[in-house]
């Protein structure tokens, strides 16, 4: 089987034929339904997911119930690999943000392939390093940078994963994930729309001027992208 005929996930496409043949019998294509939970913090995982499209929001929370996104995973990633290689307990909450499909396998099968293939195991470890870098950069960004730059960074990442300028998303959901008040998102989104950078209607945001959005974003977007490229390669 050639790389082009495999499921459209960057990590699966990067495996050589022998390693993919180890995985293939265990893979099942499943729908990722919006708001479905793929992992709960502190709970044992049953499956690992390689998204084909759509995106999964990785969030951490406080005892008071507030949650904030630390990473967004999609077709360049895998959901649950780090926990599967460790004790099987999810360290964070994983919920589908944009619907799509994914290749799913049971955690036991994932561990068996990782034990049998050093290249596969190495790729999964490098991916987890990339996600850690993403989470660390998000923490720095949320602490130091203004909402406008953070929103631009988030939209750019969402566009990379969806490969579309149209993002089905409400301002309320954005505010929830970014850990800011909804009126802050509304003010910034209005300013970006007035500048001709985005256009939003209820439940949908369109990126109109990609170059201007990149200029508005902070350096965290390119920093995370460079780290991911170094460790696991660029998105096709």
Q: Could you give all domains of the chain from N- to C-terminal order, each with its CATH number?
A: 3-118 (2.60.120.10), 146-217 (1.10.10.10)
The gap from C-alpha 170 to its chain's centroid, in whole angstroms, comes to: 18
Sheet (strand 47-51) strand order? 28-32, 100-106, 47-51
pTM: 0.91
Predicted confidence at residue 68, as pLDDT, reads 83
- pLDDT over 50 (residue 226): yes
Task: Say whether pLDDT at 134 is over 90.
Answer: no
Helix (H) or strand (E) segment spanning residue 94: strand 93-98
At 2 the pLDDT is 46
Tens digits of per-residue pLDDT, 40-91?
Answer: 999 999 999 999 999 999 998 776 667 788 899 999 999 999 999 999 999 9
Least confident of 48-52, 126-130, 232-236: 232-236
Query: What pLDDT band is residue 141 in, cutting at 50, 70 and 90?
Result: confident
Pairs from 125-132 (Cβ < 8 Å, separation ≥ 24): 125/85, 126/231, 126/232, 127/11, 127/77, 127/78, 127/81, 127/231, 127/232, 128/81, 128/82, 128/85, 129/231, 130/227, 130/228, 130/231, 130/232, 131/58, 131/71, 131/73, 131/77, 131/82
Residue 39, pLDDT above cutoff 80: yes
Q: How confident is the model at residue 3 (pLDDT cuts 50, 70, 90)?
A: very low
pLDDT > 60? residue 1: no
Tell me, what's the pLDDT at 142?
Answer: 83
| Percent of the residues in the chain that have a pLDDT greater than 70, as a whole number | 96
Averaged pLDDT for residues 7-36: 95
Q: How far apart are CA 11 and CA 154, in angstroms?
A: 22
Over residues 59-71, the pLDDT tens digits come to 987 766 677 888 9
């Amino acid at each position: 089987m050639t790389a082009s005929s495999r499921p459209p996930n960057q990590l699966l496409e990067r495996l050589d034929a022998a390693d993919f043949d180890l995985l293939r019998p265990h893979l099942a294509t499943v729908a990722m339904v919006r708001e479905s939970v793929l992992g709960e913090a502190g709970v044992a995982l049953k499956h690992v997911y390689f998204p084909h499209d759509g995106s999964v929001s990785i969030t951490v929370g406080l005892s008071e119930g507030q949650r904030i996104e630390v990473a967004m995973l999609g077709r360049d990633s895998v959901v649950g690999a780090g926990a599967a290689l460790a004790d099987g307990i999810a360290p964070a909450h994983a919920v589908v943000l944009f619907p799509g499909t994914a290749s799913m396998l049971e955690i036991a099968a994932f561990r068996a392939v990782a034990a049998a293939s050093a290249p596969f195991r190495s790729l999964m470890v490098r991916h987890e390093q990339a996600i850690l870098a993403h989470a660390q950069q998000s923490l720095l960004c949320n602490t130091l940078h203004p909402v406008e730059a953070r929103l631009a960074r988030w939209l750019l990442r969402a566009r990379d994963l969806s490969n579309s300028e149209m993002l089905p998303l409400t301002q309320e959901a954005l505010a929830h994930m970014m850990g800011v008040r909804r009126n802050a998102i509304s003010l910034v989104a209005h300013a970006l729309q007035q500048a001709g950078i985005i256009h939003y209607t209820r439940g949908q945001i369109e990126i109109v001027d990609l170059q201007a959005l990149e200029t508005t974003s902070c350096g965290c977007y390119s920093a995370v992208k460079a780290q991911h490229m170094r460790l696991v390669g660029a998105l096709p």
